[in-house]
Amino acid sequence: MRQFIIGDIHGCFVELQELLDKAGLAEDDEIIALGDIVDRGPDSPRLLQFFQSHPQARSLMGNHERKHVHSFRGQIAPALSQVISREQFGETYPRAIEFMQTFPRAIELNDALLVHGFFESDVPLEQQRDTVLIGTLSGEKYLSETYARPWYELYRSDKPLIVGHRDFLGTGEPFIYCDRVYGLDTGCCHGGALTGMLLPDFKIVSVQSRKDYWGEVKRQYQANSRDTKSAKQVTTNQADFGEFKELADAIQELHERIWTQLNAEPSFMRCLRVCRGKSTRRIFSNSLAKFNTGSISRDNAN
Ligand SMILES: [Mn+2]
């Protein structure tokens, strides 16, 4: 029995089918998605249905599944991609949540360890933070504040690690670091590629994405919202907020990446030691934290 590990699918059902055909799996081969099987792409419900009904398929918990579960419980505000998926699910949404919350945060195979997001080096799997493994912004922030180098450079277990979540190269090619860390998210929902890896051979199988689905899905949703603005005032307000949240998340993600890169520069660290006091980083982080906890006011008409 082999395992076929697949990077972030994000609702791209057509590419998933094509990838599975190309991989030429046997009936008893296992299909394991690295998480983020929903959101941004055209058909999240169909993706979930596939993983729910296929006896050989399962998925890890990605930050998008986590955001669905937490926003459904009212613990965080949904971003635009969750608002749109929720509409796609319609009345089946509560059942979708029930299924998504069963996704594990890690899967350990004989040949590799699988997580959606990141891994903190020298910390046993059971003691890893959920936010780190699942790849949330706070997990990323924790790593960048704790370590001066990117997490994958610090990973030194003998067991290879396979992750999704970040399209490291942006070229449709997977990211391979020292034959030890494999990043299989190749931006399918943004017009990149969908990438899988066959274990135990670590063989890459990949198909091109048809288009920038997320750009199209967003444009369609915004056009529909404008048309029905007066009839669906509440949804539109949620969508406006969701769009802003999406942007805030993207800025924070970029911020963490820049910060990690700067930290790897010795001259920057020297400069930082000289400039004590309240850093722009702290001001930025504080305002984002306020926004995320809702203490910055927003228009929630319901
Ligand atoms: Mn992700």
Break the chain into its structural domains and give their ranges: 3-208
Structural Rg of the chain based on CA atoms: 20
In this predicted model, what pLDDT tens digit does every residue of 160-202 receive, in sequence order?
999 999 999 999 999 999 999 999 999 999 999 999 999 999 9
pLDDT of residue 145: 93
Distance 228 CA to ligand 1 centre (A): 31
Beta strand 107-108 pairing with 181-183: unpaired
Measured in Å, residue 272 CA sits from the centre of ligand 1 at 31
The beta-strand segments (E) located in the chain are 3-6, 30-33, 57-59, 107-108, 113-114, 161-163, 175-177, 181-183, 193-199, 203-208
> Tokens 């729910």 correspond to what residue?
52
Interval between CA 217 and ligand 1 midpoint (Å): 18
- Rounded distance from Cα 33 to ligand 1 centre (Å): 12
CA nearest 210: which of 65, 4, 13? 13
Q: How far is the CA of 266 from the centre of ligand 1 (A)?
A: 30
CA 115 – ligand 1 centroid, Å: 10
How many A from CA of 34 to the centre of ligand 1? Answer: 9
Separation of CA 246 and ligand 1 centre (Å) = 13
Cα angle for residues 17, 18, 22 (degrees, 5° grid): 120
Percent of the chain with pLDDT strictly greater than 90: 73
Q: pLDDT tens for residues 43-97?
A: 999 999 999 999 999 999 999 999 999 999 999 999 999 999 999 999 999 999 9
Task: Give the N- to C-terminal CA distance of the chain in Å, as an integer.
Answer: 51
pLDDT in tens, 4-31: 999 999 999 999 999 999 999 999 999 9
Distance 91 CA to ligand 1 centre (A): 25
CA–CA gap between residue 38 and residue 46 (Å, rounded): 9
Residues 6+ apart with CB under 8 A from 79: 67, 242, 243, 245, 246, 249
CA separation for the pair 217, 226 (Å, rounded): 14
CB count within 10 Å of CB 177 equals: 14
Superfamily of domain 3-208: Metallo-dependent phosphatases (3.60.21.10)
User: Is residue 229's pLDDT more than 90?
Assistant: no
Q: 258 CA distance to ligand 1 centroid (A)?
A: 18
Pairwise CA distance, residues 160 & 112, whole Å: 5
Residue-level pLDDT at 5: 98
Return d(Cα 25, Cα 5) in angstroms, integer.
12
Using the mean position of ligand 1's atoms as its centre, give its distance from the Cα of residue 254 in Å: 14
Residue 301 has pLDDT above 50, yes or no: no
Spatial separation of the C-alpha atoms in residues 135 and 116, rounded to whole Å: 6
Amino acid at 180: R
Q: Ligand 1 centroid vs 165 CA: distance in angstroms? A: 4
For residue 62, the CA-to-ligand 1 centroid distance in Å is: 5
Sheet holding 193-199, edge to edge: 57-59, 30-33, 3-6, 193-199, 203-208
**CA–centroid distance, residue 36 to ligand 1 (Å):** 5
- Whether 254 and 87 have beta carbons less than 8 Å apart is answered as no
